[in-house]
Structure formats: structure tokens, C-alpha cells
Chain A
Amino acid sequence: MSATLEHPGAKNVAAESEPRGTEQVAGTKRLVKGNEALALGAVHGGLEAFFGYPITPQNEIPEILSGLLPSLGRVFLQAESEVASINMVYGASAAGHRTMTSSSSPGISLMMEGLSYIAGARLPCVIINVMRGGPGLGNIAPSQADYFQACKGGGHGDFHSLVLAPWNVQEMFELPALAFDLADRYRTPVFILADAVLGSMLEPAVVPDQIPPLRKVSKEWATVGRGRRAVKNVVNSLYLDPEVLSAHNETLQSTYREARREIRYDTRFTDDAEILLVAFGIAARVGLSAVRLLRKQGMRIGLLRPITLFPFPSDAIKHLAKQVRQTFVFELNSGQMVEDVRLAVNGISPVDFYGRMGGVLPGPEELAEQIRSRIGRGDSL
């Protein structure tokens, strides 16, 4: 993974939140399932307490954690609902622990009120969404239709979660640790946005042989029980005075601005690119194959894959938009991230979009053909 930072000057700040590199510790390369990688990655990243409710296609995550966490003296609890799950996450996080839930699209919708409270109370936590087709019950096939929900807040009020999008099983293992570090540093919820294919695919990945001991992160604000502290701690999101709530909101917004130093993305074949493809997650896997196909046919096309969907790599996309003739966005939805791409490009060059919905995952040939046939057609707006 070639994680590229948007602001090179900020590298030192971001470096400390790099996930524990697999090169630093003894590990074994083996076939790992995506959901298994997420579960193991979370435990290696210091997960202390997991709360969740069954839903396809992410059930391997709670199944693995239900055995692993208690064996480590950590907490696993199958909640009565996603509503309870997210509020248990709220409680465990308030009490100072690294905590996580995982679910899939309809279950994530149920968590949105709790997520808003978590964001309002400035609590760190990790939420995994192994996305499936929607709306409603939809299906259990891969989708990226929850981009808006994850990246634009999702619940009520002005808030954001940080959002990470893995594209292979190795990243499914590595990103949970990064997510916990980011959550603790910025005191925000952090989403990992995967999908039904990433969750269910088997790929070679390196997993360290030993689970590292828990690193206790100091949280002076946590409601752990007062002990000898001079003042009590209160975790809440209630500010009746509009001026006070306004100031609280300003704090949240400045946090999101600060988090821009964490922007990560991956570029392939962009140095000489005349055409830019932007895609994330599994769509970027298809996208890279399409780029290779089109390169063989002589097209100078490159790929930019956002790894952080929020904060969004706007500057990098804007920079490339000045270089290329046209930008394509490919998503497994009706066109959600493309809105952020258009805001970044801001009319510098045309932006076109291709997407499939309902759990359909097109192959590289289909995507390549779409890009070929649309060259020069201009902005699809």
C-alpha cells in the first residue's frame, strides 16, 4: 500500500499513528478472509471491548471475537440490537476503553442516533460497516451506497466520523489499528468502510504471530470512576445554552480540520496520466485492472484511490485535475463520492461518473469500455 500524505510537512505528525507494521514483528503470510482480517486487526490494534448484533455479510467478525476476546481477558458481548450495541460502545468508550462494533448497512442505520451522541460527546470508537446492497433490506451483495451515511455524518447534527476504506485483505488487517489511533487522537468515531466482497474474500495477508499487549492510552476525560481525581468527569452532549453549544460545535469542526493531516491515498500510473480514475475500496481493485487494460491499449490513464474518505484527499485530486483532460469516478452506488470529487475539481476539468447499484460488481472490461466510450464526452452533470 502506498499511502500518500496530502501535506508532506505533516508527515511527522501522522507517522505516529501508522499501524504496527508487519515488517517490525514476526508474522505469517497465509490465506485470510476479509472479515477475519478486520477482527484480528482490531485485536492487534488494542480492541478491549466488542459489542455487536448478527447481520450478514459480517458475521465472521463477532464469531471470531466471541472466542478470542474472552481468552485474552477482554470483553465480548452480543447485544440485543444494533441500538444497544452502539450505546454499549458509547459506555465502554466513555469509560476509557478501546471499543468497536461491526455491522452491515441496515444495522448501521440503526446506530445513527448513538453515533451522533458519540460524536457529540467526543468519544473515540471504531465502527466497521461491511456494506451490502440497499435501500431497505436490499441484499447481501457488495455495495458502496453508504458513502454519504459514513462520510457526511449520518446521524443528526453537524458532525463527522473519520472514514477509512481498505481495498484488500492486508489493509483490512492494518486499518483497524490505525482507526483506533485516529479515534483516540481526535476523539471521534472512525468508520472502516468495507463491503460484502472485501469481507468474504480470501487473500494472502501477513498477520503477526503474537497479539501485542494492550497499550493503555491515557484519557483524562474518561468516566472511569473518580478515584482520587479532584473533579468529577462527565461525558455528555447536552449544552442548553446556544452560545456554549455553538462553541462546542466549533471545537468539533476544528477537530475535523485538524484531521486533514491524516489524509491518505494511493496513486497508480498518475505521473504521466491524461485521464484520471478515482475509486475506493473494491471498486478501486476493479479500477486498477481497468487502468492496466486501458494502458495496454495506449491510454495514459492513472488511478487515485482515497484511503481516507473523510477527510477527503481534495488537494491531491485538484492537483491531478489540472494535469489530466478528464476525471472518471467509479463507485458501487448512484454517485456519492463523485460529489466530493467534483467539489475538489471545481470545474478545472470534466468529471464523469460510472456506477452500478444493487450489489452488481462489474468487471474491469465493462469499466474499461465505459471509460473508453466516454472519453471527450465531458462532464456528465
Chain B
Amino acid sequence: MSIEMAMMGKASADDRPATTCDDVECVMARPASMTDKLMHYCPGCTHGIIHRLVGEMIDEFGLLDHTVGVCPVGCSVFAYEYFQCDAIEASHGRAPAVATAVKRTDSSRFVFTYQGDGDLASIGMAETIHAAARGERITIFFVNNGIYGMTGGQMAPTSLIGQKTTTSPSGRIAETTGMPIGVCELLSSLKGVAYLARVPISSPKNINTARKYMRKAIRAQLENKGLGLVEFLSTCPVQWAMSPIAAMKHIDNTVIKTFPPGVFVDRVDPVDATSTPMPAVAHTGAEA
């Protein structure tokens, strides 16, 4: 499936009236929560798709007015340019700490972070784990493409064994660099996590699955159940030295062997008694 086909996925804001232009029915439009700014992402990069999904979700839940997005350093450092919501740019790795404070000071806000794998799983691992352990009522969109894209293709904590990067030119070796970190596996032991899922952004079908997961990760926050995180297995065609289509296939054929997709934790709609949500903490905002 091509990215173009993937982008043709039906807009989920079904209540939005279909508009017409030049007597042609408009069946899909840019989410109202997104700006019309031209994105800076490389051809074939999945950030554009994931941005759109975030925009769709903010529309669908009607959250734009009280959303604060936190976008740290990485390829998505300009993400605040593409969303209509208030946004904070965080330093590298610290988005969960920043988001924690934004949410705790006023629990009526919807607070999300949008982080890459170097950001979330390397320099920001401490902030990630502790935000999850505290059960912060924030939603993390975690874009894992297994490489440092913006800085020029260096090895990430999520790079695959054997993956050639500019700092592992002969391929990543476990003996000297360890094994790739599975963030969902790692966080799944923490009781503060209310929803945790991983999905490849490799086909329209998977993008629909991503929408389903994102709804739950947002509900984890809105229903005061704990931290929600969706990990997107994403492409980096430029730094992977692949065509966009080959990069999509690489996710389905190879990446998912190291990072199996699926739902890891679901305390939003618990299916068994052991998945009870973490007790709600007093997230009272300061009085106005």
C-alpha cells in the first residue's frame, strides 16, 4: 500500500458536514485542529500521517480549546507549527516532565506529548518511566523509527540488531551496544500506565488500528485512569536508505519481529479484574 492510499483513509470526524467545492463533494479535509503550513518532513516519512491522526483525534474528542501539546527536540521539533492548539516546545527528552506540570496545574487540560525514540527511550527514559510510574494523566504519542533522523541517521536505542547507521556503520552489534529497547514491554509492568499499545504505520488497515489505539490512549487521560501511550512503528526512508514503499514493507517484514504490535496494557476498558486503574491522585489545579 502506498502512503497516498494510506492518507486516503476516511476522515473520522464524521459529524463534520461534508462541504462541496466546484460541485464536487468533499469527502476528506484537513482536520480543523491542524494548520495549513507545509510540513518539513522528508518524502515517505510517516510523521505526516501521525500528525494527521493526532489532529483527527483532537477534532473527534472536541479537545482543541483545552489542549496543550508538548513537542520536544527531534524530527518533530516543529510539530507546534502544524497544530492549532497551544503548544510548548520541550528540551530533548523532557516532554513528560513538562506535560506532567501542565496537567497537574490544571486537570481540565488535555495534554499530549509527541516524542521520537531517541527522545523518549534514550535521553528521556527517566522522565518516561517516572511519568508512567506516577500514572500521570497525559497521553504520549511515541514515534519509533529506530534511528536519529534529524541529526543525520545515528544509532538509536531502538535500532535493530544489524541495522547500519552513521554510528554503527557495520550494523548494530548486541555485544557492544546492547539490544533494542522495547518501550511497551518495559513500561507494561508499571501500574500507572492505563493504556499501552504499539502499531505499525504501514498500511491503511494499520492506520485504522492506530486510530482505535489512540482513542483509548486519549480516554485513559480523559477518564482519569492513568498514562496512555501509543507507539507508532514508523519509517525513515532517507536514513534507512530505502524508498518510501520499501520502508513500509521493511516495517511489516522486519521491524515487527523485534517490536511486535498489539495492546500491552488496557485499564481503560479492563477485560479482567487485575487491570484495575491506578487510584486517582489529587490533580487539583490551583484555584483561579
Contacts and interface: CB of A to CB of B under 8 A. Distances in A.
A214 B286 contact: yes
Contacts of A228: 65
Nearest to B286: A48
B140 to A, nearest CB: 14
B275 interface: no
Interface stretch (A86-94, A186-194, A309-317): A86-94
Contact of A216 (B65, B101, B288): B288
Interface string A312-332: 000000000000000000000
A238 B78 CA distance: 9
Contact of B91 (A94, A95, A99, A114): A114
**Most B-side CB within 10 Å, residue of A75, A77, A114:** A75
Interface string A80-103: 110111011111101101010000
Contact of A89 (B91, B101, B288): B101
A49 interface: yes
Contact of B282 (A70, A223, A233): A70
A91 B85 contact: no
Given A91-B99, A94-B102, A214-B286, A226 B86 contact: yes
A223 B106 CA distance: 12
Contacts of B105: 48-49, 75, 92, 95, 97, 99
B101 A51 contact: yes
Interface in B96-129: 97-102, 104-106, 108-110, 126-127, 129
Nearest to A235: B88
Given A83-B126, A92-B101, A92-B105, A238 B77 contact: yes
A117 B80 contact: no
A69 B178 CA distance: 43
A23 B130 CA distance: 44
A68 interface: no
A233 B66 CA distance: 12
A214 B287 CA distance: 7
A238 B288 CA distance: 31
B173 to A, nearest CB: 30
B7 interface: no
Interface of B: 64-68, 70, 77-78, 80, 83-91, 94, 97-102, 104-106, 108-110, 126-127, 129-130, 282, 284-288
